[in-house]
A and B are shown apart, each in its own frame.
Chain A
Amino acid sequence: MHDALQFLGYFQDYQLTWSFFFDQLVAGLTLGSVYGLIAIGYSMVYGILKLLNFAHGEVFMIGSYIGYFVLTWLGGAADPDLPIAIVIALMFVAAMLGAGALGVVIERFAYRPLREKRAPRIAPLISALGVSFCLQQLAVICFGSVPKQYDSFSFDGGSLFTRVSIGPFEIQYMQVFVIVVTALLMVGLTIFVARTQVGRAMRATSFDLEAASMMGINVDRVIVVTFLIGSALAGAAGVMNGLIFQNVDPYVGFQVGLIAFAAAVIGGIGSIPGAMLGGLAIGLGRAFAVGYVSSSYQDVIVFAILIGFLLLRPSGIFGVPAPSKV
């Protein structure tokens, strides 16, 4: 196989090694984990409200800022006042609480009034875009537009980015951390949705909001919980993004948010595992496009493949085709 690929004259020796493949795989999984966690928020909200919450990217951005400020408050990465594990745990807790609260506030003041007035579906969409730009500009005013650096490479002399060997492969502790934390959050969310009363109410509301309401489910409460969880996950993604990619600025949410939205659509919007898979697909697509084709065309390659996939399966990986009523 190796010789056959080399015979084609396209691939170079290093590209045909398992270690390079593994490096790109891990890079894609790490990036995809961040996209996936954000995509879950888009998907959950859409699943219940049929609303594209374009402010979700900015919730991610605020979560990342909260993580940065907690880190700074605790002495910074180079010389933290507390053990690193506690500092990082506090960053996650604060970012998830702060982002979750922000999500609830956005729902309460920007979306619910429109829902109560039975506004056409385009109205909340515009409201979401408005909230997105408001949060972006507020961040510029409050935090400045120059990127803030987590400087996480300074944690314990850079030990978090030390490579650990797994057989012939190498992976950084930080990459392991991001992938494992994402997996744990996914497992926790899946159990919550599948096994708890609130989770069942969420599924019922997602299936049919009006029927759920008539069955005695407090739909408003379910929606608040949905925003709380989706936004908290975005906050966690914000901290992960800062820890591994260092920078946070007021504009980071828009770009990442759009990609996460694409991930949610690819996974089948409304589906939680689909959103995560969509995020991983985009992350892996980018990493392999850079590694094996060309960094210049990474987005073209990834999105061309995804468009092709959606043409074959318009409802996404786990999406359910909408029944046509006659």
Chain B
Amino acid sequence: MKKVIVLAFAAVAGVSAVAASVAGADSTRLGSTAAPSCSQALIALTGPYTGPAGTAGLDQKYWGRIFISNWNAGKPIPGVPAGFKRTKLKAIEADTALNPQLAATVAVQLRSNKDLLAVNGFSGSQENVAGGPILRRGGVPFVSGSATRASLTDPITPDGLVLKKQDAAGKILAPVYFRRVVPTDKRQGATDAAFVLNKLGAKSGDRVMTVDQAEAYSVPLITLITQILDKAGVNVSRESQPAAQTDFTSLANKAVAQNAKVVVLATQVASNAQLFFQQLKAKGYKGEFLATDGAFDSSQFTSPGAYISSFSLDINDVPVAKPFVAEFTRKYGQTISFGAPSFVAVQAIAMGISTSCADGRTSRGEVRRDIGKVKMKTSLLGAPIAFDEFGDVVGGVGFTMFQIGGNGSYNVVQKG
């Protein structure tokens, strides 16, 4: 009897493990040794489908799916010229859980799949730092719809050196593999700092608390914001708290005791922004609170009065996006807008692949080259999209500032 019970327990544990791995796996194999096809090209959609940024990651995945279904069906898409010859796509979906180690593992698997032409991702900057060099060594081009860390495309910083080479005169020697359709944190940092100074009223001598979450996205962003505020004479208290540690009480005490006029939190975990703001209010904090784009999740960060910056407009307000938003809503429920740039990132990949397939054959190298040539006169975001020689977006949209309303809605207070 005891053996039966033990076996039953082992079976349950085994089934759980299998179920868990299946839940994180995809319908298409990650590894394959066949050659790329132009009849139906294989790409990968990656994102944090589980973990603390799961809501944002799923939004990205669903927008990627919406693009592929419209593209394959030959429907009109903003930025795709009429008569443009489309190569149909199929996609692997891989969860990176906002975890650099997992992103590196996924990158190894994707790189070994000879069918695979390009990757949409990685979502998080820290994931690109970890997984990007692996994709590059496999010759895989990748386009992110959300990674904003400036140094990912800056050739004179360590991240840039990992991803591409440059001679002393600044000429690019190695091809660019990483591109993104969102502006960098240089722009976000400048926008956020200007917002703190001009709209939230922080003046020389005032106290502002800036808080990062001790990872590759938030540290450089908060560093930049801190530098700009410092130069403006603001008395900045720079703080740091790992994302996994969800007690902000001590920081809230400090902000209140310092009489901080503004608290700025850079985080990729929306619920952390919610908790920090609530704990500040519970301590009697009277100042303003600004969270960066990583916290953009209207299901998790809902505290009225808080501000948030985002690289995406409220996609519901973009006229050309309306039919796509309607399709999204019908299939997956309300979008949080965070994933809309991923639609455009997959579109850049699709147009690059289609161009490279003009002669009926393609390769990762050709796709990499042709993604760089993509020029969209408009896009789902309501703005043109192209790439510069470093892989950064040319055109696109800037960072929009939102304030959370009484019903948890995100209301635009400054357009990007």
Contact = CB atoms under 8 A, between A and B. Distances in A.
Interface of A: 12, 14-15, 17, 19-20, 23-24, 27-28, 30-31, 109-110, 113, 130-131, 134, 137-138, 140-141, 144-147, 149, 153, 158, 161, 163, 172, 245-247, 249, 251-252, 255, 286-287, 290-291, 294-296, 298-299
Interface stretch (B74-82, B110-118, B236-244, B348-356): B236-244
A268 B173 CA distance: 59
Contacts of B249: 27, 30-31, 287
A255 B211 CA distance: 21
Contacts, number: 120
A109 B19 CA distance: 20
B278 A140 contact: no
A158, A255, A286, A290, most chain B CB atoms within 10 A:
A290
A27, A31, A146, A158, most chain B CB atoms within 10 A:
A146
Interface string B255-284: 001110000000001011011001001111
B239 A24 contact: no
Nearest to A162: B282
A246 B23 contact: no
A147, A158, A251, A296, most chain B CB atoms within 10 A:
A147
B13 A149 contact: no
B300 interface: yes
Which 7 A-B residue pairs are closest in the complex by CB-CB distance? Answer: A145-B50, A137-B20, A290-B250, A161-B282, A296-B240, A14-B257, A109-B9
Interface string B82-120: 000000000000000100000000000000000000000
A286 B250 contact: yes
A20 B253 contact: yes
11 contacts: A24-B253, A30-B249, A109-B6, A110-B9, A145-B50, A146-B55, A147-B271, A147-B300, A161-B282, A249-B51, A291-B254
Given A144-B54, A145-B50, A287-B250, A163 B271 contact: no
A211 B300 CA distance: 55
Interface residues of B, number: 46
A20 B19 CA distance: 50
Contacts of B54: 144-146
A109 B5 contact: yes
Nearest to A259: B245
Interface string B275-309: 10010011110000000000000001000000000
A141 B258 CA distance: 43
B52 A149 contact: no
A295 B240 contact: yes
B247 interface: yes
A81 to B, nearest CB: 22
A295 B249 CA distance: 12
Contacts of B251: 290, 295
A113 B282 contact: no
Nearest to B13: A134
A290 B254 contact: yes
A295 B239 contact: yes
Contacts of B6: 109, 113
Contacts of B72: none
A139 B278 CA distance: 26
Contacts of A299: 242
Contacts of A14: 257-259
A105 to B, nearest CB: 9
B51, B257, B284, most chain A CB atoms within 10 A:
B257
A14 B271 CA distance: 29
Contacts of A144: 50, 54
Contact of B16 (A141, A287, A294, A296): A141
Contact of B275 (A158, A246, A249): A246
B151 to A, nearest CB: 20
B413 interface: no
A246 B248 CA distance: 11
Contacts of B281: 153
B50 A295 contact: no
A37 B238 CA distance: 32
Given A137-B19, A141-B23, A153-B278, 8 more contacts: A23-B257, A24-B253, A27-B250, A140-B50, A146-B55, A294-B239, A295-B251, A296-B239
B9 A246 contact: no
A124 B82 CA distance: 65
Given A147-B52, A247-B275, A295-B251, A255 B245 contact: yes
Nearest to B284: A163
B17 interface: yes
A295 B246 contact: no
Given A17-B257, A113-B2, A140-B23, A31 B9 contact: no
A141 B250 contact: no
Contacts of B275: 245-247
Contacts of B19: 137, 141
Contact of A246 (B244, B278, B284): B278
A128 B253 CA distance: 38
A295 B255 CA distance: 12
Contacts of B242: 299
A141 B13 CA distance: 13
Interface in B1-24: 2, 5-6, 9, 13, 16-17, 19-20, 23
